[in-house]
Structure 1
Amino acid sequence: MRSLTLPNKLIFFLFLLFIGCNNSADEEKLFSISGTTMGTTYHVKVILPGSLAKSSELDILQNKIDSVLKVVNQEMSTYIETSELSLFNKFRGKEWFPISKDFAYVINEAIKISKLTNGAYDITVGPLVNLWGFGPEKNTMKVPADTQIKRRKKEVGFKYLQLRKNPPAIRKSNPDLYCDLSSIAKGFGVDKVSELLLVKNIINFMVEIGGEVRTSGYKAKHQKWRIGISSPDGSSKIKKVVLLENLSMATSGDYNNNYIIDGKEYSHTIDPRTGRPITHSLVSVSVLDSSCMVADGFATAIDVLGPIDGFEFALKNKIPVLMFIKEKNEFVEKSTKEFDKLLKILE
């Protein structure tokens, strides 16, 4: 589970087929908007009639997108000292702590996934993420001592976190509890931007934040959105291209945000159950869902569970999943029938 300001998930290279333009002002055209958020980048592609997409109107749309993402950051960033999440992490009382409706919505989904995975996914893993140098705390580039890990593990556990939906509030039974929503907040941000576009009657679009993607409708001329998954070898090559329509895809991987100490590589993905970085052979997992937030959370959960338990979890819960597993000197592709069925339908 990862830091919000580091590229904690695989960044997809979104290969979108741009269409040619003609002189007709009403022809649908693809327009791009990009910026920065949550310590990474975002890209939005929208299909609009040429006569409606003036530069001034696109600037207004980008300002609204930036405003939406600023609110999400102010609610859920561990890097903004005044965010709702940071204030809750500093709060040591056991009383109910008021939060926004959206914040409660994300917490509720995170708790659901934590329960489903028996704690393999746990947003209270923050103290361990920080200890290993992937959070706001300064990284000393040293492997933590066993005593440090044991001490931090006592501060971790979603069982110490309670949610009240109305009025929205959370509370901690362990004063040292520290939450990190980086494994699900980007996906939620994608959903919020998508909701903004739909409210504005923009129905053909692609939204991506730090590699988490949601699509709606088509590109111009009814082409499906083509989303590339980068190769697990860490290169800039594309390993697989999937066609998406009204779906989200989130990918979690083990090779873009690690560090090496004394010749040994340490993953940024921390297993809350052991207090240590994952060490299994699953190097990439992509999840499909209508909600990017849900796909984001499940991708992290399955990444923690690994190639065997993670795949069994996906099968049991009928989750559309694509895995890349390292076996000797090659990457083996493995997917659930739900993933294959969705792609077959879209193709």
Structure 2
Amino acid sequence: MITRVIKWLAPWGLAFLLAACQPADDATPQLHLTGNTMGTYYSIKIVGADDSRASALQAEIDRRLEQVNDQMSTYREDSELSRFNRHKADTPFAVSENTARVVTAALQLGRLTGGALDVTVGPLVNLWGFGPDARPTHIPGDEQLAAVKAQTGLKHLSVLTAADGDYLQKSLPGLYVDLSSIAKGFGVDVVSEYLSEQGFTHHLVEIGGEVRTRGLNAHGQDWRIAVEKPGPGTGMVQQVVALANTSVATSGDYRNYYELDGQRLSHTMDPATGKPITHRLASVTVIHPSCMMADGLATALTVMGTDRALAFAERHGLAVYLLTKTDDGFRVDMSSAFKKYLRG
């Protein structure tokens, strides 16, 4: 799935393109903030802001992103989500409004995509060697796979809202929830909504490749984003899109994989089989008003594979761009709704 130009494309699939078509003198002043969060970086461009606001804005942005981490990180033992994962009872577990909101969105996307997005597949990710556990020395057997798969499933997770707050509930003691497929996009939305509240209606927020735009860039144009061409090396642009008041996220399996017993194993799990995906869809880019939704949809469509993903996008009017590996390179497919964003 941005303003250090193209060299930031490689790890996450997207980057800002600097608007070099106009001289700098014609540009509105712009503040650029960078930092680290969620195990990656953030890059924020705020049109019409100057250095006098930098310290206060960045402090509040960092505070809000830290709050998201404290709520939903699985790497923090004391986060709300980590404590819920250790909660073995089926009694309601109190969480923040933010955590309830993100889990609710994950459940909605799970239903919408027929289970292609499943935030409970963490044990399967670990089983196949893409989590903190060591990689297996052999392909997991059917019995082992079935035992781990039995510990997953969105049907075992629910969100409850009561007069005194929000709660998560599990019907399976060992259920483990990982929101990494959707929480980064939510963090982008949180920052963008904060900037809009502060009156900065022209900005771009990016966290590790997930992007949300508002208004126009410093040159009075739509924000331009580059979709990376999959493959070895860095900085190869596949397609440029122009965005205003919307978000974009990319998911792909062409970097995080390994080979075992002669099989290429992707980090992307198919919840239906409990196994890594085996099709040749390498990269999915989704444009959606909500970065959280774009983030989750990109993962779900990656699970589906090219034909199912494209049909799903057309059925739901989604703007989707797909790159599928072929013997000769990569084939491009896109939904009808995506075409209006193309540039270059």
Contact 1:8 1:268 in 2 (8 A): no
1:69 corresponds, among 36, 48, 65, to 65
Q: 1:9 to 1:169 in 2, by over 3 A?
A: farther
One-letter code aligned to 2:277: I
| Segments ≥4 residues shifted beyond 6 Å | none
One-letter code aligned to 1:105: R
Distance in 1, Cα, partners of 2:201 & 2:69: 25
Distance in 2, Cα, partners of 1:238 & 1:130: 33
Q: 1:35 to 1:273 in 2, by over 3 A?
A: same
Distance in 2, Cα, partners of 1:14 & 1:8: 12
Q: 1:311 to 1:89 in 2, by over 3 A?
A: same
> Per-residue CA shift, 1:84-141, capped at 9, x if unaligned?
1100001000000111101111111111111112212111111111222323x23335
2:16 corresponds, among 14, 19, 22, to 14
Kindly tell me the number of residue pairs found equivalent between the two proteins.
331
1:93 corresponds, among 79, 89, 94, to 89
Q: 1:192 to 1:58 in 2, by over 3 A?
A: same
Distance in 2, Cα, partners of 1:281 & 1:144: 20
Contact 2:10 2:228 in 1 (8 A): no
Distance in 2, Cα, partners of 1:189 & 1:142: 36
Please name the residue that 1:3 is paired with.
Answer: none
Please name the residue that 1:125 is paired with.
Answer: 121
One-letter code aligned to 2:13: I
The aligned runs of 1:47-58 (5 Å cut-off) are 47-48=47-48, 53-54=50-51, 56-58=52-54
Distance in 2, Cα, partners of 1:143 & 1:30: 53
Q: Which moved more, 1:90-99 or 1:251-260?
A: 251-260
Please name the residue that 2:295 is paired with.
Answer: 296
> Per-residue CA shift, 1:228-272, capped at 9, x if unaligned?
111112432111111111110011111122233466432111111
Distance in 2, Cα, partners of 1:10 & 1:143: 29
The aligned runs of 1:219-230 (5 Å cut-off) are 219-230=217-228
Q: Cα distance, 1:62 vs. partner?
A: 1.3
Q: 1:153 to 1:9 in 2, by over 3 A?
A: farther
The aligned runs of 1:1-347 (5 Å cut-off) are 10-17=12-19, 20-22=23-25, 28-48=28-48, 53-54=50-51, 56-135=52-131, 137-140=132-135, 142-146=137-141, 147-166=143-162, 167-236=165-234, 237-261=236-260, 264-341=263-340, 343=341
Note the residue ranges of structure 1 that are not aligned, 5 or more in a row.
Answer: 1-6
> Per-residue CA shift, 1:167-193, capped at 9, x if unaligned?
311111110110010100010000001
Q: Among all aligned residue pairs of Structure 1 and Structure 2, give the percentage whose two residues are the same amino acid.
A: 42
Contact 1:8 1:257 in 2 (8 A): no
- Give the TM-score of the pair, scaled to structure 1: 0.90
Contact 1:187 1:292 in 2 (8 A): yes
Q: 1:10 to 1:279 in 2, by over 3 A?
A: farther
Q: Cα distance, 1:8 vs. partner?
A: 12
Distance in 2, Cα, partners of 1:239 & 1:72: 32
- Give the TM-score of the pair, scaled to structure 2: 0.90
Q: Which moved more, 1:227-236 or 1:76-85?
A: 227-236
Contact 1:16 1:225 in 2 (8 A): no
Distance in 2, Cα, partners of 1:320 & 1:73: 29
Distance in 2, Cα, partners of 1:216 & 1:134: 35
For the aligned residues, what is the CA RMSD?
A: 2.1
> Per-residue CA shift, 1:1-33, capped at 9, x if unaligned?
xxxxxx9983312222266545x9xx7223211
| SS of structure 1 residue aligned to 2:318 | coil
| SS of structure 1 residue aligned to 2:176 | coil
Distance in 2, Cα, partners of 1:244 & 1:177: 38
Q: 1:238 to 1:263 in 2, by over 3 A?
A: farther
Contact 1:132 1:143 in 2 (8 A): no
Q: 1:97 to 1:283 in 2, by over 3 A?
A: same
| SS of structure 2 residue aligned to 1:220 | coil
Distance in 1, Cα, partners of 2:59 & 2:156: 38
Note the residue ranges of structure 2 that are not aligned, 5 or more in a row.
Answer: 1-8
Distance in 2, Cα, partners of 1:139 & 1:42: 30
Q: 1:295 to 1:9 in 2, by over 3 A?
A: farther
| SS of structure 2 residue aligned to 1:260 | strand
